[in-house]
Amino acid sequence: MILTAENVGMRYGRRVLFRQCGFEVTAGQALAITGANGSGKSTLLRILAGVLTPIKGAVTLELNGTQVAAADRPLQTGLVAPYLNVYDGFSARENLQFIAQARQLAHAVERIEAVLELVTLTGRGDDYVGTYSSGMKQRVKYAAALLTEPPLLLLDEPTANLDTAGIAMVERVMGYQRDAGRLLVVATNVADEANRCDATVCVEDFR
């Protein structure tokens, strides 16, 4: 299991975010992506997820010795980010059931209960998300990202809106992904979060 970025470049108009950005993440490893606000961390995560195409370079995801097609990479990726939303009119469990049905997930009931427990929402799983605090909504995003046990997990500002217990939950999720021998990439400006990773890439070094 390997994620590779090779000579990746991105710009918006004349504004260059990064150029010739390259790194490799292997099974069980975590990579921190750092840089000032607005430097391109979130953009790079979206490129890794396969939902944004760089102007130069390439990103490849290899699973079991086979390269995943670019169009299929989003299906192998879990993404948690402040700009992603969940349905306020659904309960947490209903949000997860919707995803499970869309992805035709086997053993959906068991997986939903497992991720609700992992993010410590078991007792509130049937409450409408619209009644949740911002931190609880963030937990639902984690549950959604982990539901399919994605080989690649991308976390953008992973502890945003979270209290001490929520931060501990994020640490468990990071350990869960790594212990399973999967891939983890974290975009952060928080030193403690970056220090928990095996390596660090600063996007500002690729200008």
Task: Name the pTM for this structure.
Answer: 0.93
Closest CA to 22 of 3, 42, 1, 38: 3
Distance, CA of 6 to CA of 56 (rounded, Å): 9
Neighbours of 51 (CB within 10 A): 12
Pairing state of beta strands 199-202 and 30-34? parallel
In the chain, where are the structural domains located? 2-206
Tokens of 105: 């997930």
pLDDT by position in tens, the chain (length 207):
999 999 999 999 888 999 999 999 999 999 999 998 888 999 999 999 999 999 999 999 999 999 999 999 999 999 999 888 899 999 999 999 999 999 898 899 999 999 999 999 988 999 999 999 999 999 999 999 999 999 999 999 998 878 999 999 999 999 999 999 999 999 998 888 999 999 999 999 998
Domain 2-206, CATH class in plain words: alpha beta
From edge to edge, which strands make up the β-sheet containing 56-63? 15-26, 2-12, 56-63, 66-67
